[in-house]
Structure 1
Amino acid sequence: MFVILLCVKLEFVVMRSDWISRIDSLIKWSFYALFFFVPLVMFPATYELFEFNKMWFVFGISILIFFLWASKMIISGQIEIRRTPLDIPIALFLASQIISTIVSIEPHVSLWGYYSRFNGGLFSMIAYIFLYYAFATNLTKSDSKAPVSYKILFVSLISGLIVTLWGLPSHFGYDPTCFLFRGTLDVSCWGESFKPTIRIFSTLGQPNWLGTFLAVLIPIGIGFGLSNLPESNINIKDIKKAYMIPALFLGLLFLYYLALLYTRSQSSFLGLALGILVSFLLLFFFKFRKYSAAGLIRDKFLRYVLAATLLFAITTFLIGSPIPTLNKYTTAQGLMTALTKKPQEALRETKEKSKQSPAKQAETGGTESSKIRLIVWRGALELFSRNPLFGTGVETFAFAYYKVKPIEHNLTSEWDYLYNKAHNEYLNYLATTGAFGLGSYLFLIAFFYYYCLKTLSRHKHSAFSPISIAILGSFTAILVSSFFGFSVVILNLFLFFLPLFFFELTNREALSKSFTYPNKKEKSREQEINIFKMAGIFIVAAVALFYEFYLLNFWLADKKYALGYNLNKAGEFTQAFTPLSEAVKMLPSEDLYKDELSINMATLAVLLSQQNQGSEAAKFANQAKSLSDEVVSRHRGNVVFYKTRTRVLFALSQLDPSYLDSALDSIKKAQVLAPTDPKIIYNMALFYNQKGETAKTIELLNQAKKMKNNYVDAYYALGLFYSQLAREDPGNAAVLRKLAKENLNFILTNINSDNDAAKQLLKTLE
């Protein structure tokens, strides 16, 4: 920024038009960088490798463009904002996000978004909308043959190619990310939850995110291939050269599609299928329907479409689709299995699978994701029924869901996962922003479709019509995939910018009007940059630099937090203290850091006490309690913070038994916020056991069993308590031993027949 200001100082009398031209060029290249780098950005030392860094890159570019655009307005002496067809829908949507943030159960989360992801928070939505209008205002006036939208889409295709080539080797056990971060060309750098040999994710972070990103690019790639087909009257000698570019796009489509299949993402596959279907139907409606059968056969567009379809069909036949039910008769392996397997075998496998109880499924192989989604969706609808107008607050699903979590969720393999999204973008908006939020979101989508169809019918012969139609297909792919998942940074960028690209490529007149202030024309186009304008630019630069450094400080604090968090998890509490303390000092507004530091300091207090360092232990204990008090005082509706507080106070109770009552109060508050969480009830039972209240302990453990009838810990604890009571109460020993055996036998019969702890305890009761 100051480089630009230095140039201004050295060339004080430069013509205004020259400076505006230079600024426009910088804005254009900023958008190129945005769409090229966002899919690629990742960093190993942050708390979250992918989405956090992508969102921060978007914020950084947004601030840079803000500086450039504001400087341009200062130089021109006029505020200008381009009008677009989506102004009213976008205004309503933004209003819904602002109102839901104001009434949010977690305003800090609603502003920034769920920590580590940040996409979806109010600040991210403001950034996307700001970028939308920055592009519309500054880059849609070009009279060049290829509009900036066309070039950005091409840049996205190149970025997508790099993402694809980066991700494909991981399917075969050679992940470039591991080589970059660890120096080993394998997949050993990933934990159990990341298995790229089964489902690749490349630089996007999750298979579904990569799959949807590719589902967006494939229709656009088809559109580019169609728009680069040669004229029908081309010289025969030039045919090979003319068809080389369309052929290269077919090769690109093959790589994209192959990578999408290797993600094994069902939602992305379905989104792509419907996106391509929409594109092909529109292409047929606006182009092919005027032809006779003979004319259709000769049409170069139809031939290219058929070639792409055949390419996808052959690839699916050889590789298989992510949807198992489609593979039985559409893939080579499926056909061979169907032809060789006896009907009796198939029937027996189906019956065995159907007989397996939900409890057994959860313990052995995991519950089907579709069943879990349906349960989570029920919770989202319940949240909407309780907060119908404005929801629980932008991006608060992670904390609000605990309040309404269906008890059936406890029987799934993901019963103790934290769901920060509803895994359905529409239900997520409904739950967190209410009817106003979802209604404005759907209105924006519906209005864009209406405008597209209306515009395409009027501009059938636009040079960019294949790409315009492809944009609508890509937009559809996002919406379909979002029904089974949720948006991420690159997808939200496309969600806002695909409509804008459509407007520029198909009907630039839609972007011809502007809001300007003051609404007057300058007498001269060659005004000098005076001292007042320079002062204004310096002020804007200072503001922009302040926020860029704030982002940098936040990013560095996150690195410290990530290091401390991981050391805490590894049990290296002494080493974790310094980075966590530094993170809190660098960003005192982020209570998540204080929450983690509080449990660290409570644990260190216990360790210091064991080393006979009483004064230091007391100091750490007081600071841990103080940090926890501060966090929960500002986050009354955050069950996660109350769970941490319970751990802090329970740890401190080893130093001072009076803290046990405080820990019990804390877990009771957590239970109010998460009434169907069996783990909270289980831990509460253990607290009552420490207080010597055996009857209350057994009552709570039985309650935990009812919430989760395959809860091994609860059954084992009851077996243990009943066996202890049998030894202490000889008069009722037979009854108590029977109760102990019933709980232990239930584990071995219905949950896990190989549970050694249950077997050993059962032997002592014989």
Structure 2
Amino acid sequence: MEGNNFSKFESGVKVNVNSNVGHVDKTVFGSKNKPEEKTDFKKNIFDKIILASFFMLFFGLPIFFTGLSFQGVVFEKQIYFYFWVLVALVTWVAKGVMLSEMKIKRTLLDIPIAFFLVFYLISTFFSVDKWHSFWGFFGDPSRGLLGVLFLVVMYYLILSNFNFKTLKWCLGGLVLSSMLVSVFSLLVMFGVKIAPASLNSYIPLSLIGTVSGLKVFLGMMIPLLLVVSLKMNESKKKYVNILGYIALAFVPINLLIVSMVFDKIISATILFGVGFFLLYILSHIVRPKENLAWIPMVAFVLAMIVLATGKNDLAKVNIPIEASPNMEVSWEIIKGGLKEDPMLGSGPATYGFDFSKYKPQAFNENIFYGIRFYQGTGLFFESFSTLGILGAVALLAIVVVFINVAIYLISQDKEKNKIYSLGLLSASIISIVSAFVFRVDGTIILLSAMVGSITMAVIFLESGMEERYLKLSLKASPKFALTLAFIFIIVSAGVAVLFVYIGKAYLADIYAGVATRVSKVTEEGSIKNLNKAISLNDKEGRYYSRVGQEYMVLANEEASKPENSVDVTKIGNYVSASVAYAKEGVSKMPNDALSVSVLAQIYESLSMQVDSTLELAFKSYENLLSLEPHNPVAYLKLGQIKIVPALKETDVTKKKALIKESMGYIEKSVKEKTNFAEGYYYLAVTQNALDQKDESINSLISAVNNDKKNLTYLFNLGRAYQEKGGETDIDNAKKIFEYIVSISPEEVNTNFALGTLYEKIGEKDKAVEKYNKVLETVKKLGSDNDETIGKLNKIISNTKAGISNVNIADSQPINSGQTGDVSNSNQEVELIGPAPVQNPVNQTAPIAGQSIDNATEPAVGN
């Protein structure tokens, strides 16, 4: 009976439930499903935008450039990186708000990254140049706090939004981009014209930004090309196999380019990375398709051949030398920085300050003494001086944890065959080793961080690691809802501000780029564009210094006009503007040696017209020495400045005192640089003025020995011998003058001096011949030399008549300018350029051909 009742109940239930369920499906579930479908659609849109941003980062960063900016390719790539990270960040946060949940992936790198950021922030706060420590230094902003924050954001963006689809798009984009870089580089190296001549100034030699960066990038790509080739050859589709072999063909192409711009350290690093890849293949921890194991072996052999054979001569273009401080110099800079501020350093992106202040005196003895380096040889060396012990250790901790975690996870669970992880880790190892032992630019830092981020994400994915997330959910509690809403508001506001400022900074640099590419400095052209740059980005001190220099060029041009055409008012306005802008440049960058030297040069240039600026120039060079204690040029400048009042002084005692003071500074310049030809030359000038004839000759000999091509030094050595007057001295002078005339037959001063010498030793015919040569040359110079021509005719007639011209000759009445090429840092130096890595220590004034004349160069014999 119970069974019958149960049977009836069961039967009734079936009928009722089935009918009800059918009804519910059409109403309740049907109406609820529409918002979920809409949510999924929006989520897919957000995911696609994030994926597109990642693809644009990996594909676009290596090849992006416009050639329009002043600061160059590396700066442009940094702006490009900022843009796409901001797009991905806004999309990710918006997606989190829409889904009422945001998940941030947690990894073992979280704690080292957090400590590194904290120390970076503190070091920025106490920096010697707070703005550039935040934004990044001129030309390469990658070391700034902002750049590091973006790298961290990019890391968590990738890890929190990663899957195999993301991997394929990012890796595919990077490999495709590297192929384009390789083809471009190969064409450039072989001298193939890839664009019209009018566009050549916009196209870089290296798409990465520097040749050294190109070598590192191509080396990084070799393991990734191997991985892509191996995976594609596992496909059953023939066209995919063909594409795999095309990718493989770029391995020898990359190695060929590396050998054309050969560097032993980089080549050894590439070999190490490929060897690491091969090690895991041979040990069967990672197993490619059986018949493809030969591929990494061949790549390893090719890398060995490149390292063993060294540089080849296939390149048809001149590859520029990219210098960097050697390990000894880098170590001295570290020691100096640690003495000053061992814990926090001088601040991020301030290596230029450390290099100027702590470079050893021995650095002045090499050919690169006149270069300022704004990046160290390896991030490890650089971080000790800029970030201090705390920052350097935190950076090292990130690298150590990254490598340990990656190697441990790849080595586990051989059956999972983590070939993507192996290739990416091998590429990361090449970039890490290169960054620690080689000077790397911002492009390589960005690419290394991007590849490193994908490496961690892929290793976790291929290892099947349990995913851990920091979850912020609107559904969990009001506290989390508030947190997520607050994050969205802050991120949105911050992104809006950053978009605007970064856009303005880039536009400003384009205006500056337009200004610096013009052939002539004008107020309506170059200066107007530089002022537009300043109005858009008034934080950048380099713009102000450059405008100051350009106004000085205009003042020079106006002053060099014929006397009846000179506009004194214009000169005054130009000079005032020049000083004002240069002072503002120093105000923006008070601890930057280049900005200070620009102001010092401008004051010195004005000292011939305005006496009061001489003291200002002197103080500016003293300020420069406080930033660059071993700068021989600064000591020479101080000595030259002290010569000026000595020339005007009538009291003999005071005159000698000023000359001795000048000589003291110049002696310091040659102590700082024992092969400083210009220093020895001016030391000879002061010694001669103090009647130290033998010492003066010895100094001139040192000047000539250290700059054998400088005919001015050689000419004045001849004059010094001639003035000394001994038989051997006269013979030396004669040989010197005859040598100069053999090189420069129409050189007026030397021909005249040789004529006086022949006359003195009784060779009258030769003397007349040389005087006539001078007369012919002077007549060619123009029609306003009547007085000089008259003197020469008188000298020639006296010589023929046997009348001595000694008094006339001693006064050296002929002056056609300098003899030979004067190596004088006061004369022709280039305007501030775009190079972020190096600026000459005497790069403080106008472009070549537009000189600022500070003072006439004294001759030893006078």
- TM-score grouping bracket, smaller chain normalisation: 0.7 to 0.9
Within the candidate set 218, 221, 229, 2:222 is matched to: 218
What's the CA shift string for 1:547-604, capped at 9, x where partnerless?
Answer: 3333222112112223434559x66677432222222222222222122223333454
C-alpha deviations, 1:13-52, integer Å up to 9, x for none? 9822321210110110111011111111122231133101
Matches within 5 A, 1:242-391: 244-287=242-285, 299-312=290-303, 316=305, 321=306, 326-327=308-309, 372-391=326-345
Aligned pairs for 1:201-600 within 5 A = 201-230=205-234, 244-287=242-285, 299-312=290-303, 316=305, 321=306, 326-327=308-309, 372-463=326-417, 465-508=418-461, 509-510=464-465, 512-518=467-473, 520=475, 544-565=495-516, 575-600=525-550
Partner SS, residue 418 of structure 1: strand
The alignment partner of 2:64 has SS state of coil
Match of 2:841 in 1: none
Aligned residue in 1 for 2:83:
60
- Paired with 2:475 and 2:590, the residues of 1 have a C-alpha distance of 53
How far apart are the structure 2 equivalents of 1:392 and 1:538? 34
Q: Which amino acid aligns with 1:429?
A: S
Instruction: Check whether the contact 1:462–1:506 (CA below 8 A) recurs between aligned residues.
Output: no
Q: Which amino acid aligns with 2:273?
A: G
Residue of structure 2 in register with 1:164 after alignment: 182
How far does residue 541 in structure 1 lie from its aligned partner after superposition?
6.3
Alpha-carbon shift at residue 94 of structure 1 (Å):
1.5
Q: 1:229 Cα shift?
A: 4.1
Structure having the higher Rg: 2
Contact 1:44–1:181 (CA under 8 A) maintained in structure 2: no
SS in 2 for 1:81: strand
Q: 1:147 is paired with a residue of what secondary structure?
A: helix
Q: 1:226 to 1:682 in 2, by over 3 A?
A: same
Aligned mates of 2:321, 2:707 — CA distance in 1: 16
TM-score, scaled relative to structure 2: 0.70
Is the contact made by 1:101 and 1:110 (CA closer than 8 Å) also made in structure 2?
A: yes
Gaps of 5+ in 2: 1-33, 315-319, 478-483, 647-657, 723-862
- Matches of 2:221 and 2:449 in 1, distance apart? 15
Aligned residue for 1:739? Answer: 695
Q: Which residues of 2 match residues 539-688 of structure 1 at below 5 A? A: 544-565=495-516, 575-605=525-555, 613-688=567-642
Partner SS, residue 434 of structure 1:
helix
Number of aligned residues: 660
Q: By how many angstroms is 1:287 displaced?
A: 2.8
Report the AA paired with residue 518 of structure 1: S
Q: 1:583 to 1:368 in 2, by over 3 A?
A: closer
1:701 aligns with 2:663: no
Distance 1:742 1:634, change over 3 A: same
> Are the structure 2 counterparts of residues 462 and 616 from structure 1 closer, same or farther at C-alpha, using a change threshold of 3 Å?
same
* Conserved? CA contact 2:406–2:459, under 8 Å: no
- Equivalents in 2 of 1:521, 1:225: separation in Å? 46
Residue 488 of structure 1 aligns with an amino acid whose one-letter code is D
Q: Structure 2 residue aligned with 1:103, among 118, 126, 145? A: 126
Letter in 2 for 1:19: K
The reply to whether residue 690 of structure 1 matches residue 648 of structure 2 is no
Measured after TM superposition, the shift of residue 469 of structure 1 is 1.1
**8 Å contact 1:677–1:707 — kept in the other structure?**
yes
Q: Which position in structure 1 is the counterpart of 2:52?
A: 29
**Which structure would you say has the larger RCO, counting Cα contacts within 8 Å and 6 or more residues apart?**
1
- Is the CA contact (8 Å cut-off) linking 1:229 and 1:246 kept in structure 2? yes
- 1:408 shift after superposition: 0.9
Q: Which letter maps to 2:373? A: Y
Matched, 1:39 2:91: no
SS in 1 for 2:371: coil
Aligned with 1:738: secondary structure? helix
Name the CA distance, whole Å, in 1 between partners of 2:660 and 2:547.
35
Shift of 1:204: 1.4
Q: What is the rounded CA distance, in whole Å, between the counterparts of 1:469 and 1:581 in structure 2?
A: 51
| CA deviation vs aligned residue, 1:703-727 (integer Å, no higher than 9, x gap) | 111111111111112223434x26x
Q: Which moved more, 1:121-130 or 1:71-80?
A: 71-80
Q: Summarize the Cα distance change of 1:230–1:77 in structure 2 as closer, same or farther, 3 Å threshold.
A: closer
Residues 311, 642 of structure 1: alpha-carbon distance in 2 compared, 3 angstrom cutoff = closer
Structure 1 counterpart of 2:192, one-letter code: Y
Query: What SS class does the counterpart of residue 377 from structure 2 fall into?
Result: coil
Q: For 1:668-722, what per-residue CA distance to the aligned partner results, in whole angstroms no more than 9, with x for missing partners? A: 1111111101011111111111122211111111111111111111111222343
Report the alpha carbon displacement of residue 649 of structure 1 after superposing the two structures with TM. 2.1
User: Of residues 112, 129, 138 in structure 1, which corresponds to 2:152?
Assistant: 129
Following superposition, the deviation at residue 638 of structure 1 comes to: 2.0
Partners in 2 of 1:511 and 1:554 — Cα distance? 43
TM-score normalized with structure 1 length = 0.79
Q: Give the counterpart letter for 1:561 in structure 2.
A: A
Deviations 1:68-118 (A, max 9, x none): 122212222334322223111211222221111111111111112120111
- Tell me the distance in 2 between the aligned counterparts of 1:269 and 1:95: 35
Structure 2 Cα separation of the partners of residues 151 and 478 of structure 1:
21
1:326-363 CA distances to partner (integer Å, 9 max, x unpaired)? Answer: 338x9999xxxxxxxxxxxxxxxxxxxxxxxxxxxxxx
- SS across alignment from 1:595: helix
User: How far did 1:157 drift?
Assistant: 0.7
Does the Cα contact within 8 Å between 2:286 and 2:414 map onto a contact in 1? no
SS at match of 1:80: strand
Residues 225-256 of structure 1 deviation map (CA, whole Å, 9 limit, x = unaligned): 3334439xxxxxx7977854543332121222
Alignment-mate amino acid for residue 532 of structure 2: E
Deviates more, 1:471-480 or 1:593-602: 593-602
26 and 242 in structure 1: CA distance in 2 versus 1, 3 angstrom threshold: closer
**Residue 159 of structure 1: how far off its partner (Å):** 0.3
Worse-matched range after superposition: 580-589 or 46-55: 580-589
CA displacement at 1:406 relative to structure 2 = 0.6
The 8 Å contact of residues 136 and 511 in structure 1, kept in 2 or not, is answered as no
Equivalent residue number for residue 722 of structure 1 = 687
Residue of structure 2 equivalent to 1:357: none
- Describe the SS at the equivalent of 1:119: helix
Distance in 1 (CA, whole Å) between partners of 2:232 and 2:37 is 41
Identity %, equivalent residues:
18
1:423 aligns to what SS in structure 2? Answer: coil
Paired residue type of 1:227: K
Asked if the contact 1:379/1:401 (under 8 Å) is kept, the reply is yes
The amino acid across from 2:369 in the alignment is W
- Give, in whole Å, the separation in 2 of the partners of 1:380 and 1:175: 44
Return the alpha-carbon distance in structure 2 between the equivalents of residues 535 and 110 of structure 1: 28
Match of 1:155 in 2: 173
CA distance in 2, matches of 1:435, 1:495: 23
Deviation at 1:168, TM superposition (A): 0.2
In structure 1, what residue type is equivalent to 2:168?
A: Y
CA–CA distance in structure 1, aligned partners of residues 322 and 144 of structure 2: 29
**Maintained 8 Å contact 2:267/2:303:** no
User: Structure 1 residues 762, 571: CA separation in 2 closer, same or farther (over 3 Å shift)?
Assistant: farther
**Aligned equivalents of 1:189 and 1:56: distance in 2?**
18
Cα distance in structure 2, aligned partners of 1:183 and 1:367: 23
Which is worse superposed, 59-68 or 207-216? 59-68
Judge conservation of contact 2:71–2:138 (CA < 8 Å) in 1.
no
